[in-house]
Chain A
Amino acid sequence: MSGHKESILREPLITGQNITYSKITSDILLPVENKPNRAWWIGFIIALCGAMLWVFAVSYTFWFGIGSWGLNKTVGWAWDITGFVWWVGIGHAGTLISAVLLLFRQNWRNSINRSAEAMTIFAVICAATYVVSHMGRPWLAYWVLPLPNQFGSLWVNFNSPLVWDMFAISTYFSVSLLFWYTGLLPDIATIRDRATGLRRRIYSIFSFGWSGNVKTWQRFEAVSLILAGISTPLVLSVHTIVSMDFATSVIPGWHTTIFPPYFVAGAIFSGFAMVLTLLLVARKVLGLENYITMFHIESMNKIIILTGSIVGVAYLTEFFIAWYSGSEYEQYAFINRSTGPYWWAYWMMMTCNVISPQLLWFKKIRTNIAATWILSIVVNIGMWFERFVIIVTSLHRDYIPSSWAMFYPTWVDVSVFIGSIGLFFTLFLLFLRVLPSIAIAEVKLLLKSASEQAKLEQIKEGHLDKEQVAEYIGSLDKFDSVKQEEYAKI
């Protein structure tokens, strides 16, 4: 199996020469087995300040209540739910990479799935904290669980999408955690067997006694495949249900059947943007250019164009249907979105999500690291505005003009949001230090078939079609981690 040769037409997934199994291990474990460098410390301290701001702002909210936010009687949901949906959406790319791409046998997922899944878990943690803090009385958060009436409330209303959401998010979080951790076991064992003393003991506990024998590996693959199979509909269901929090209500602007697919596409769109934001920095700082190659970056950018365009079509469809429905409330909601007092938020969303990602059609841009990184941040800004537009502009002009209002965030709103980003990066940076950021075992699988060196050997053997070789060498131009001189001779 591992001995088969992959077509020369496929671009390499591991670049560089003289890559061996042990070099893969050492390269990936470099940040785990050594003291962190200055870049890590600077990032960590900034992120930690953000996380502390989050702790302060959330504690302030708990102490003084939701009144410390900018909500009013017309706009009852604003930055809190915007932040919640934004984070849940970001989380979706991790599951998409680990589950959907596994089902489709997209081998390029192997070097990005681990950090993307970690990102999923941290993003869902950020989202969940929003849910708890927006409850007003977070110490009664367990009331969302179906508890018997003796606990003081009635049974939860199972017809409510908010209850569905509780089930969806908690299932999503726990299943993602299982999937991620099971995948980590072989890599934790790798760290364990290279470590000594206390480190070995600690990693030994967390490795669950992994030995890598035949039966364990064979079952491991079966389990991964089944988990991927059930995570795929799960991830679709989660954002579908998040969208139903809005879509099943009768608020003009929310009450649309297009929401589930539109939210799912948006979630994948923002999630891949966040993966790029993180990995473009991580590959540089951690020196992982050979494993997260330009091919990976370009592939993710292609998914961003696709999902971004789906989102764009959804925006236009929504607008068209508002007009076509003949419902004046619906029509007003959309006219107000684009030309009312929040016009700037609407056009910010349109520019960042629909117009600027179209730049990625140009190969020069999607294979340029700086441009990709900036666009990935632009997408995340746009996706935040999308949720803000959906939530706030649909609410702020109620049916009676006397209850029209504007929403202005307070410093607490802003701090909770900035703080949640700090919390996310704190967790992510800690993850980079203690666990391998790339699935070591899965990358080793690619070495003999899909690496640059294996393909170079194939070329040197010389039984290949000349045109195909030329095309392959041409495709290597964009790679920043390939030494082009090697190919000049051929």
Chain B
Amino acid sequence: MSNIKYILGSFGDPDEMMHGIDKLQENNIKIHDVYTPMPIHGIEAKLGIKRSRLDVLAFFCGLTGTASAFALIYLTSVVDWRHNIGGKPALALPDFIPIMFELTVLFCAFSLVGAYYASTHLFPGRAPRVMDLRATDDRFIIAIDAKENAEHSVIDGLLKDAGALEVKYNERKYVSYE
């Protein structure tokens, strides 16, 4: 038994999986992570995942975009190289607004997605850390660290009671990659 690293409860139904999480937590069994083929609402509260702060970051990066656009236009067409266009004012704020808006969106979107990829470790070519290959297809997987939780038979029973179709004992953490 000592070679087992992770115990996986494989569910075919998201509601049964949620029930499984409740059951495990009632018995003080710590859940390593849950892998699902689609977003399941309410699961993050159960697993104590904190609220994302990406929105705050996006807001401030958006403001940086606004300021950068204004700085660019101001420094080029007001300070550095003033054009006389029919005697109209060089600091024509209404004309600056479209670009200020576009750069707000651009900075906001790129920093948001960049921060998301960085915080969840997504980047091209990263080795996928998959515990069960069906977790991206039709199975909802609860992963439990086998070393931290010694009573495997209890876990097995709880998972099966909650409706797990299958309980797997993985000797390797990630099955996906050789």
Contact = CB atoms under 8 A, between A and B. Distances in A.
Contact of A445 (B38, B76, B117, B127): B38
Interface in B14-28: 14-15
A444 B37 contact: yes
Interface stretch (B1-9, B134-142, B158-166): B134-142
Contact of B76 (A158, A171, A209, A448): A158
Contacts of A448: 14-15
Contacts of B124: 205-206, 208
B44 A214 contact: yes
A336 interface: no
B87 interface: no
Contacts of B101: 233, 237
B14 A214 contact: no
A222 interface: yes
A424 B122 CA distance: 30
Interface string B26-65: 0000000111111111111001010010110010001000
Contact of B54 (A2, A163, A209, A223): A223
Contacts of A231: 105, 109
B144 interface: no
Interface string A227-240: 10011011001000
Given A21-B137, A211-B128, A234 B37 contact: no
B157 interface: no
Interface stretch (A48-56, A73-81, A184-192, A350-358): A184-192
Interface in A136-167: 146, 149, 154-155, 157-159, 161, 163-164, 167
Nearest to B65: A171
Contacts of B36: 212, 214, 217
Contact of A216 (B14, B76, B109, B122): B122
Contacts of A214: 33-34, 36, 43-44, 47, 49
B95 A158 contact: yes
Contacts of A22: 137-138
A223 B116 contact: yes
Contact of A211 (B35, B43, B85, B113): B35
Contacts of B15: 2-3, 448
B125 to A, nearest CB: 5
A227 B123 contact: no
Given A194-B137, A208-B122, A219-B54, A441 B38 contact: yes
A186 B136 CA distance: 7
Interface of A: 1-3, 20-22, 25, 146, 149, 154-155, 157-159, 161, 163-164, 167-168, 171, 174-175, 178-179, 182, 185-186, 189-190, 192-194, 204-223, 226-227, 230-231, 233-234, 237, 241, 244, 440-442, 444-445, 448
Given A164-B98, A213-B33, A214-B33, 20 more contacts: A2-B14, A3-B15, A22-B138, A146-B72, A158-B76, A158-B95, A174-B106, A190-B137, A194-B133, A205-B124, A207-B128, A209-B123, A211-B128, A212-B135, A216-B120, A217-B40, A218-B43, A219-B54, A219-B119, A230-B105
Interface of B: 12, 14-15, 33-44, 47, 49, 52, 54-55, 58, 62, 72-73, 76-77, 80-81, 83, 85, 92, 95-96, 98-99, 101-103, 105-106, 108-110, 112-113, 116-117, 119-131, 133-138, 176
Closest 3 CB pairs of A and B: A209-B126, A21-B138, A1-B41
